[in-house]
Structure 1
């Protein structure tokens, strides 16, 4: 059983420091590589699906969150406002209000819809110390977020397409969904008091789940304050459940921000706002990937994809040349020379690296490497260029298999 809090530190992916504060982890170089690869993957998938990326500030005036409803329904989870002259600014707890303002900044025709806006952006939540843990529950969050502004007739298709994107990402990442949850409101003043809003949005999400052919559990008390959502649940090795990805259909924010588009009839119409996150927060996604794979990440995500191991000092220069050739192809490669211990010790130290390339006297004479795979297989001596091509193809296609038949 793997615990990402222990394993992530052992693998030097992330750490914390009391002077930075609880719930504020920092990323070490290898962890930063994993995070960067994951973020680039998400951006690529989103671009291919018609999303356009934006950047927005992590601060906003208190008035912004009063309009969105966060201040009245969610302020206990927000950091206190900071005085800025005669105004108050707040660290944002979500990206939704900023994206609503970005939409509102331009006029829109029905011909432009659906308009899909995505961002990998920071947000901050004042979590209690008792619930913080590793990367799964933090106060500084990098969220893979997106908002789709569409007509009512487009909302179900857009939400279903978001679920399909989530399924594709899980397959590429080697993640399994434990269950799908339809998160509904509970009792109390936490939720927006608009029964018609809840009924309409819930009905559409049920239609999305039915059309996607997904079984789900309806659970009260887990909705966002402004609307119901579909939560994709995952479990850790200890069986603890958490939400990783979400899809929501929102009528509340478009109303609060007075969003509209010009319809075919020339009149103003209110858009629907579909919220969706493919991998949720980068922090929680990486935590789950550490535990799911035990640190043996898919080759395209691995901090080091290839380690080159010269048997003796005589092959070290050639080993560095192989590394240079690998780096030139965009691969992540390192040399582990004799100065780092015996060959056996170096092989064991690199046990989580997908590809190991040993260079002895025989290999050096023929521009070859003796290949060892992380799973224990030994394909044997291979031409250097042939190996680099295999690794590049595996990484580019995000293949789960390290050495498929040619």
Structure 2
């Protein structure tokens, strides 16, 4: 729609008949260049804009940013000495950082949410105001040291060094504030340094909630003061917020860290270090099953299994480009092999080694170990390579963000002409493998380079690599989402984004086309015409890491793994001690067929045993009483509480064995077993 010169966007929106309340309410407008404007904005010339409604991603972000201002106002009403950090919207919510003498308590959070309700109900208008100068802003915000630091950064012209949240505060042009004005009297109730935009008034905030608080360092640097961060969420309607809170509650029940402890799968001992998991016997079963299956699938798809060490001289990573392009995520060097004489003088300089963050440099050395012919290409190398990345402590999270993990990492070396077919082969392999584990809702993300200096190689190489990846992605028929600037330093990539059982998206597999490392390692092959040519290298990781994928699967299945992955597939439960030998014989027969079966001979009552193994999410429980022994039968008890009685033992064993060997990802039930 058009906003005529001298007319507010609000007036134009109203005259065009857009809704003024509810999920479809117009909250801001977007100019052709993507700039979002308040509805109070009055253009100097006619402007073509798109109307942004409350139920869109941009609309929700504006609502959440406005809610963050209201929350900060509530905090300073209740805690006048609190100093303001920043308060941006984030995925599904917002936060605001505060410097306070004591951490906020749960009671404080309740009081803050109650005060927010009072502020919103009183009716306030968000009003943009431009500072005449930086000095005017400094004078107004003299009592806010963190705001003054941002203003000083803007005055020093360091906008490019700010992160997205900080740019939301001071913008990349003029310096502005937003005032919260009483809608009846016009009195300024509170204000904040902010670029905006915001919703017109508090009546556009129908659903909000303060959720939790945590510690956070100012600007994410542990050398800076530690602040208190309060998180909240806000939505365009109470229905949307209720649905989100239900998803959140379900996600909490599925949290793999909680389930990992309850099911005795893995742990994170402090004595080992942050982000370094250990797998317990039951978790080890799942991990082994995953690795064995994936290793076999790789071999079937033409990959050759290799092995490489965990550390290497740091010169290798200079050759590959990881140093300096990837240095911040690599662990510091280990200085070894120094030799001294009797006087303590160095007689031989040592070497610096690094824990490897990627397997590709070592695979390049395997390729380069002898001459190669075009007849060998595609050459596909694969390993479960253990790599180590120095993730910041604030982002380490269970199995899904760790510092040490095993990649199902592979590299295909191909001719330039073979690249499209190999990428197609890899993408089909990736999708089939994820489906084998029960994930079948995907879209693709294409990560490309931007204008920054963090990428190597010529623009022509990048254009060709991007074109090849894009064509294969489009050919797949899956949704393709652009990710500008998200490429690796050496080449663009396709990422497979998989949705789990409750609709959350996880980045899983990646396929990356690389013209640069073959050149840096001087890789070559003899072509059919006898000339020496440089291969193209394609990186692919099917799960990303075994650890991360196991964490995702734990949440996808809520700990109730398919039979073929379950650590314990069958538990035999005698009704009384008299049936113990009978149950043990059945368990032994199952074990002889490769089934992970156990017998529960504990002194607990039968009902308690059933409950215990139900909570442990065992897919098959076999119960036997006196009549079962006489009939040579057992009773099935399933996870969902259903039961099937009087099943002949041979039939029960065959049924369990067939189900496990079929690698089905659904859960057995009484109905399915009939």
Is the TM-score greater than 0.5?
yes
1:44 aligns with 2:296: yes
2:573–2:601 CA contact under 8 A, matched in 1: yes
Task: Indicate the SS of the match to 1:145.
Answer: strand
1:366-381 alignment runs, 5 A limit? 366-381=631-646
2:264 and 2:450 mapped to 1: Cα distance?
A: 41
Distance change in 2, residues 1:78/1:108 (3 Å): same
Q: CA deviation at 1:383?
A: 2.5
Q: CA deviation at 1:28?
A: 1.0
1:126-179 deviation line (CA, Å, top 9, x unaligned):
010000011010000111110111111221111111111121122221124452
Greater RCO, CA 8 A, separation 6+: 1
2:503 and 2:458 mapped to 1: Cα distance?
A: 36
Which of these residues, 142, 159, 180, is aligned with residue 444 of structure 2? 180
Q: CA deviation at 1:405?
A: 6.7
1:82 aligns with 2:334: yes
Which of these residues, 136, 142, 147, is aligned with residue 400 of structure 2? 136
1:45 and 1:393 mapped to 2: Cα distance?
A: 21
1:356 aligns with 2:621: yes
- Partner residue of 1:397? 662
Task: Indicate the SS of the match to 1:122.
Answer: strand
2:274 and 2:582 mapped to 1: Cα distance?
A: 46
1:338 and 1:38 mapped to 2: Cα distance?
A: 31
List alignment gaps of at least 5 residues for structure 1.
none
Which of these residues, 314, 319, 322, is aligned with residue 586 of structure 2? 322
Q: CA deviation at 1:241?
A: 4.3
- Partner residue of 2:81? none
Task: Indicate the SS of the match to 2:580.
Answer: helix
Q: CA deviation at 1:236?
A: 6.3
Which of these residues, 279, 294, 316, is aligned with residue 27 of structure 1? 279
Which of these residues, 589, 595, 608, is aligned with residue 331 of structure 1? 595
- Partner residue of 2:652? 387
1:342 aligns with 2:594: no
1:324 and 1:130 mapped to 2: Cα distance?
A: 48
Which of these residues, 413, 416, 436, is aligned with residue 152 of structure 1? 416
Distance change in 2, residues 1:177/1:223 (3 Å): farther
1:213-228 alignment runs, 5 A limit? 213-228=477-492
- Partner residue of 2:256? 4
Q: CA deviation at 1:337?
A: 2.6
1:192 aligns with 2:456: yes
1:342-401 deviation line (CA, Å, top 9, x unaligned):
222211221211111111112222332111222344333223232222222222221134
1:311–1:338 CA contact under 8 A, matched in 2: no
Which of these residues, 13, 35, 40, is aligned with residue 265 of structure 2? 13
Task: Indicate the SS of the match to 2:394.
Answer: helix
1:4–1:290 CA contact under 8 A, matched in 2: yes
Equivalent pairs, count: 405
Q: CA deviation at 1:197?
A: 2.0
Task: Indicate the SS of the match to 1:357.
Answer: strand
2:462 and 2:533 mapped to 1: Cα distance?
A: 20
Task: Indicate the SS of the match to 1:323.
Answer: helix
2:502 and 2:271 mapped to 1: Cα distance?
A: 30
- Partner residue of 1:105? 369
264-273 or 358-367, which moves further after superposition?
358-367
1:378 and 1:367 mapped to 2: Cα distance?
A: 17
2:504 and 2:391 mapped to 1: Cα distance?
A: 19
Task: Indicate the SS of the match to 1:131.
Answer: coil
Greater radius of gyration (CA):
2
List alignment gaps of at least 5 residues for structure 2.
1-249, 338-349
133-142 or 182-191, which moves further after superposition?
182-191
Which of these residues, 223, 230, 234, is aligned with residue 498 of structure 2? 234
Which of these residues, 246, 253, 271, is aligned with residue 510 of structure 2? 246
1:321 and 1:285 mapped to 2: Cα distance?
A: 36
Distance change in 2, residues 1:294/1:238 (3 Å): closer
Distance change in 2, residues 1:134/1:235 (3 Å): farther
Distance change in 2, residues 1:32/1:130 (3 Å): same
Q: CA deviation at 1:76?
A: 0.8
2:400 and 2:385 mapped to 1: Cα distance?
A: 17
Q: TM-score, normalised by structure 2?
A: 0.58
- Partner residue of 1:118? 382
